[in-house]
Amino acid sequence: MHYERKRKMMDRFYILNTTELFDNRSVDTGFYSGVMCFDIKGNEKLKLLEEPCYINAFVYLLVLSGSVEVEINHRSQCLAPKTLLLLTAVHLFRVVECSNDFLATMLLVDSDFPKNTDTPKMLYKRMTYGFKMFNNPTLILSANDFEVLNGRMQILLRHISYTTHLFYNDLVLNSLEGMYLDLSNIIENSDNVIPHSLHRDDVINSFVQLLVENYKTEHHVDFYAKKLGFSSHYLTKIVKQHTGQTAADFIYDMLYSEARRLLRQSKLSIQQISEVLNFSDQSAFGKFFKRNSGMSPFDYRKGQ
């Protein structure tokens, strides 16, 4: 099907999946299930992004040389070398124009990918820097930080292409996690991050901290909202505006991630895991896990 027919138009903008975005294979791309990484030279490959769109992915664009003008949520920005752009599925994005000598590396991670791969620790890090970078999703890197991230992304591109490796999945996931760790470190230590509303920043940071401390035992938004002194509706609205996900989504993502970790790495029985994660019984845990993974906890553990 032609690219134009695959796009979904909604009120003058498009919603694009990564497979639709570059399905013509016009870039030399590394493919891994849910992850794409590739270098972009000049303007040709960016023509697909000249119309406003939401990309159903986490987008990381590292500018190596030249420049590109973009619009993010209707605000124009010019990205110069050593600039990193971080987009989520709730950033409206389009490319205005770029220089002939433009060169960048782009990493696309499907929005659903982290749910099935990230550890609770990595989910926490991704939530934290995602909140911090939402309002101004560009970061001007120091020479050292640029070298670190550029090296990480090039390694990831090579590893994604190394499909004959005996430990291919672990190779790619470890490379991706390494990049996230370095990115989180850079953002935490950066003076260039411009926070959004201090009130909203406080609300979100407090929610994340409460979530990390209580997700194993508290599965309902009401608990977190009451602790923060807000209604469930208000907390959900704030989180949704800045991430595209609800507060409940984050609770379930953390819970599902820990369930996978315990099934893979612990010797606890499935009944014991359901108790550790405060489900009413093993059956309720099984239904939750199957709804998220498509398989029972027993089949998931057996397949490891």
**Most confident region among 48-62, 158-172, 241-255 by mean pLDDT:** 158-172
pLDDT tens column, 3-14:
343 344 434 556
Sheet holding 68-72, edge to edge: 8-10, 13-16, 53-55, 93-98, 68-72, 75-79
The two structure tokens encoding residue 192: 């260039």
pLDDT score, position 24? 43
Read off the pLDDT band of 207 (50, 70, 90): confident
Alpha-carbon torsion (8, 107, 165, 182), positive or negative: negative
Tell me the mean pLDDT in the region 114-134.
64
Say yes or no to pLDDT of 230 above 60: yes
Dist. CA 159–CA 166, nearest whole Å: 12
Alpha-carbon torsion (250, 254, 260, 264), positive or negative: positive
Strands (E), the chain: 8-10, 13-16, 29-32, 35-41, 53-55, 57-65, 68-72, 75-79, 83-87, 93-98, 103-110, 138-140
26: Cβ contacts below 8 Å, ≥ 6 apart: 44, 45
pLDDT score, position 4? 42
Dist. CA 27–CA 39, nearest whole Å: 8
Read off the pLDDT band of 26 (50, 70, 90): very low
pLDDT tens column, 134-184:
677 899 999 999 999 999 999 999 998 888 999 998 898 889 888 988 988
pLDDT score, position 78? 93
From 285, 228, 209, select the one nearest 252 (Cα to Cα). 285
pLDDT score, position 191? 66
The two structure tokens encoding residue 45: 């490959």
pLDDT score, position 7? 40
Whether 87 and 136 have beta carbons less than 8 Å apart is answered as no
Read off the pLDDT band of 218 (50, 70, 90): very high
Read off the pLDDT band of 30 (50, 70, 90): low
Percent helix / strand / coil, the chain, rounded to 5: 50, 20, 30
Say yes or no to pLDDT of 213 above 90: no
Read off the pLDDT band of 219 (50, 70, 90): very high
pLDDT score, position 116? 60
Read off the pLDDT band of 271 (50, 70, 90): very high
- Identify the structural domains of the chain with CATH numbers, from first to last: 3-188 (2.60.120.280), 198-302 (1.10.10.60)
Read off the pLDDT band of 274 (50, 70, 90): very high
pLDDT score, position 195? 47
Tell me the mean pLDDT in the region 271-293.
94
Secondary structure (DSSP) of 127-148: HHHHHHHSSS-EEEPPHHHHHH
The two structure tokens encoding residue 168: 């291919």
From 5, 19, 97, select the one nearest 55 (Cα to Cα). 19
The two structure tokens encoding residue 33: 């299930």
Q: Match 């989520």 to its residue by tokens.
A: 88
